[in-house]
Structure formats: C-alpha cells, structure tokens
Copies of this chain bind each other. A is one copy, B any other.
C-alpha cells in the first residue's frame, strides 16, 4: 500500500504574447500558462502524477488556489484505492457539496478538479507502464462505464447504452490498434492562422503546412471581414483547392452577425466555422448552424461540462465537437463526452495547441479510435507547433499525423528545467521579461 504524500501546485507561464503567437479576435495577447500539479506518493517506484490546467496568463494563480483547495481529497489517501476507483475518485471531488457551489461543475473549480484527476491518471498510467490511451483501451467495458457519472445525461445516454457501445467495440480493439499504430491519427494545423501574423508569414506558414503533409489548416477570423477575405484568399491560393481550410471566430459574434460574416467567406470553401458565438449559447449555435448550412459549425473547447456537450448534440448545434483536455473535469468527463458523441454519431476533432494540450488530448482521441467510436479518417486533432520542447514526452507529429505515444503516462509531465525557468513571477524568464519590458503587465481588453 502507498499513500499520496503531496500535491504541489506551480504557476508556470510562457511569454508567448511577445511574438503574437496565439493571437485571435478575442485573445490579442495570450501568455500561454499552466497551473501545474504534481502528485507524489511514498511508493518505492518514485513515480509522480503530473497534469495542468491551461490558461492564458493573468489568473493562473487563481487556478493554482483552486487546485490547492483539493488537497484534502488527495493527500494522505491510499493511492491504490484512489487509482483503482477513478470513477469514485472523480465523484468525490465533483460532488463535494461545498466546492460544488463554486461552479457548479464549471469554470475555475471544475478545471482544477480536471487537473487533479488527470494527474492521477498520469500516475495510474505510469504505474501500469502504459501510455494513457493504451491503458484506457485495455480496460473492460464495465470498468470504462464506471468512470462516467451519468447524472444529467440519462436523457441522452444511459449506462446500459454506454456499456453496449464499449462491448460492441471490444472485439475490434486489436485490429484498430494495429491500424492506429501503422497509420497514425490525422492532424490539422493552426500554426499559420493567427491574426497577429503578417501576410508573408501567413503565406509562408501555409506553404510549410502543405509541405509538412497537413491536409487541413485553420485560420483565425473575426477581426475585420475585409481582412478575413484577404487572408483567406491568400491561404486558399497557397494551399490549393484540395487542402481544407477551417476558420475560427473565437466567440466573436452574435447570431445575426455570425451568419452575415460567414456569408462573406463562403466562397473559400470553409471546412468548418469554429466558435461563432458564446460557448454557452447552445440555441445560438443551433440557429447559426441551421442558417449557414451546409457550412458546418464546430465548437466545444470552452464547453464547461458534459451537460453543455449533451445539449449541443441534442440541439443539432454543431457538426464537429471539439473536446479539450483541461476544460472539463479530466479524463472521466471526456470519456462521458466521447460516449455522447459516439452514440449520436458526432465527429470529434479535439482542440489543442496552447501549452501541452496536444500532448494531453491525443490520448483521448486514440482511446476513442481503438475502444469506442473507431472513427478516425473523418477526424483530426488540432496541432500547433508551440512549446512542445518543454514536455518529457512531446507529441510526435509527422506527415500531418499524430503518432501514438509509447511512453507510460498521460503525456502531461513537463521538464523540470522548463518548470523552474518559467515559474511566475520569480523564474528567470519572467525576471528577465520584467526588466526588458516594464509595461508587459498592461491589461488589454478584447
């Protein structure tokens, strides 16, 4: 038996705003950040479970405080017991009646639970000697169903239906896994598309994306429609007619505005329109989806929880569901969302980028491809070529595809040197930054 001995939280920030990396219509100057958590035990294996909430700068310390508030749920507990019943572990935190008031099941407190849950999954996978996707894909249908809290979901999927889905996929797992390992999982790239890049950089990065084997790119839109037309024209010209171009408005519009704006961009053969409006606006997305059809709506990176996911599906509000590894309460809740999508035949194309989101979310798609939906060729995981060098097991993306991780764990462990260098506000990167650019803490409003 081993005990959880510590839950350490760290405020890690990267000064990405200096290069306009990640700039979009709502987020002009993000500093990609991680409220990073490490769970330690007294086991002789010395293994640590690591995970994080991704944020974009200010407020990362609030996220840190929320993770620290979960200490009592973890520290001092029997590690085997927590890891053997991850469904129960999840419920004990999400249904803590006092903490629940702070959401319920949304925002800072819910994401904090996600980080702790994911750190425990990282530890569990390392103990099993398996990458997380393979660990999940080795669990029995019954055990997988046990991970999921079906509260508020039973009008869209029941535990019995979930079990049926996992059971139907079980005989196919081995063959699907072989295929995944042989061919990888499709990726698309957002690297060319940030609003802050000039036309030359846009064209160059589009060219590189095609040369790198990507068959879909994504451009940020929503600043100015004329600018969007111009940038889409450049991109379409560079990539040619066969590479898909998705666009991402990052919640910029109201319903009518979205429809009018997209009408101006239709000519460029849009693969999907992402986050046209508020991520909470299920009915708004549904109305937009109806009016811009056949251009598909994509959304989900900011959906607060499985209840919003359920409604997006029920209302036919999108064609492409974009799960995020650190927005909801961790692996368990994403399994619930994958189940909803699988049952209702919705494509899942995860949100990634930021810092570590690619490393984390690939495991969910690969698990789904092996043990649940089995779908893969109509899907793609977002890829942005930033900050992978800070991870112990960075993603392997080649030829426009994600190649399945083989290292044990959830992919969410950062390098010790990177953590030390980027600790905010006292790490050397930030100490240097404040000296070089004293106005960098100026607040900009979207």
Contact = CB atoms under 8 A, between A and B. Distances in A.
Given A65-B62, A108-B66, A283 B282 contact: yes
Contact of A61 (B69, B91, B256, B307): B69
Contacts of A110: 107
Contact of A152 (B151, B154, B284, B308): B284
Contacts of A103: 106-108
A325 to B, nearest CB: 15
Interface string A79-121: 0000000000001100111111111111111111000000000
B441 A256 contact: no
A27 B97 contact: yes
Interface in A1-40: 26-31
Quickly give the copy total for this chain: 2
A292 interface: no
B102 A55 contact: yes
A28 B96 CA distance: 10
A44 interface: no
B56 A152 contact: no
A307 B106 CA distance: 15
Contact of A96 (B256, B278, B305, B445): B445
Contacts of A96: 58, 443, 445
A13 to B, nearest CB: 10
A115 to B, nearest CB: 13
Contact of A97 (B28, B105, B112, B278): B28
Given A154-B255, A441-B72, A56 B97 contact: yes
Residue of A55, A106, A251 contacting most chain B CB atoms (<10 Å) = A106
A59 interface: yes
B69 A62 contact: yes
Nearest to A277: B152
Given A102-B62, A282-B283, A155 B30 contact: no
A33 B96 CA distance: 16
Nearest to A66: B62
A91 B111 CA distance: 24
B107 A254 contact: no
Nearest to A312: B283
Interface in A278-294: 278-284, 287
A280 B65 contact: no
A428 to B, nearest CB: 22
A36 to B, nearest CB: 16
A341 B153 CA distance: 28
A73 B442 CA distance: 10
A92 B442 CA distance: 12
B280 A446 contact: no
B155 A255 contact: yes
Contacts of A153: 254
A350 B311 CA distance: 26
Contacts of A315: 283
Closest 10 pairs (CB-CB, A-B)? A107-B107, A108-B108, A65-B65, A57-B98, A58-B98, A155-B255, A152-B278, A97-B446, A280-B307, A154-B254
21 contacts: A28-B97, A30-B101, A59-B69, A59-B99, A59-B102, A62-B66, A62-B69, A62-B102, A72-B441, A102-B107, A104-B302, A106-B280, A108-B109, A152-B254, A152-B284, A154-B254, A155-B254, A155-B255, A155-B284, A283-B314, A283-B315
Interface of A: 26-31, 55-59, 61-66, 69, 72-73, 91-92, 95-112, 150-155, 251, 254-257, 277-284, 287, 302, 304-305, 307-308, 310-311, 314-315, 441, 443-446
